[in-house]
Amino acid sequence: MANVDAFANSFLNPVSGAQSTFRSAMNALAYPAQPRALSSDLNPCGPMASGALALLLTLADQETPIWLAPSLAASETLKNFIAFHCGARVVDDPALAVFAFLASPLELAPLARFAQGDPDYPDRSATVIVQVEAFDDHAWRFFGPGLPSPRSFGVSPAPKEFVEMWTANQAGFPLGVDVIFVCGSQIAALPRSLRISEI
């Protein structure tokens, strides 16, 4: 039987809630590696935190294939939520997803398994949305568009060999994936155009 919370949990005002979340996501991509406020009146759903849930509601619909990391896909409550509120198709192959959702940055590797786009349509790549426990400004250093000067940024828990992983992702630009990290009421984005180094 479906969990009632999966049906009751939604934006109090769907239009303004989605608009606010979308604006926050665009700001995070425009000002990369910088935590930005994300307002959400949602409750967590299974293992998915409220911020990631807000992005899911805003970005996914009946025409949007999404992929859930196994830690998320195991939740019947979350799958009921997606079916009822979004109607999005959950795919088994991450390479077929427009948006991928992960419960931890430790589930990131390898980024190459997600849709990379193609030379004619680089926008057909995936956006990977990852829940984190905390942001850390002493982990990595980023350079590139949207950053007038190098910026330090990181997440906790930190994936092993993230520098190598991101370097390989950026090397294929304009192909590659964009990543949005969600921590409580904040998000931070890494567009594929950014270069990385260790501090």
> Among candidates 148, 158, 144, 154, which has minimal Cα distance to 192?
144
Across the chain, what does the average pLDDT equal? 91
Output 4 or 126, whichever has higher pLDDT: 126
CA 167 centroid distance within chain: 18
pLDDT of amino acid 1:
36
- Which residues, 6 or more positions from 106, have their beta carbon under 8 angstroms from its beta carbon? 157, 159
pLDDT of amino acid 124:
94
What residue spans define the domains of the chain? 4-108+124-198
User: What is the arithmetic mean of pLDDT over 20-26?
Assistant: 93
Q: What share of the chain is helix, strand, coil (3-state, %, to 5)?
A: 35, 30, 40
The amino acid sitting at 191 is P
pLDDT in tens, 123-138: 999 999 999 999 988 7
Output 14 or 89, whichever has higher pLDDT: 89
pLDDT band at 48 (very low <50, low <70, confident <90, very high): very high
- CA–CA dist 83, 66 (Å, integer): 12
Kind plus residue range of the DSSP H or E element containing 118: strand 116-118
Is pLDDT of 58 > 60? yes
pLDDT of amino acid 7:
55
User: What is the arithmetic mean of pLDDT over 166-193?
Assistant: 96
- CA–CA dist 199, 194 (Å, integer): 15
CATH of domain 4-108+124-198: 3.40.50.11310
Is pLDDT of 148 > 50? yes
pLDDT in tens, 82-108: 998 889 999 999 999 999 999 999 999
Cβ neighbourhood burial of 193 (10 Å; 0-12, 13-18, 19+): middle
Half-sphere exposure of 80 (CA within 13 A, CB side): 15
- CA–CA dist 139, 160 (Å, integer): 12
Name the one residue in this structure whose structure tokens are 């939604």. 10
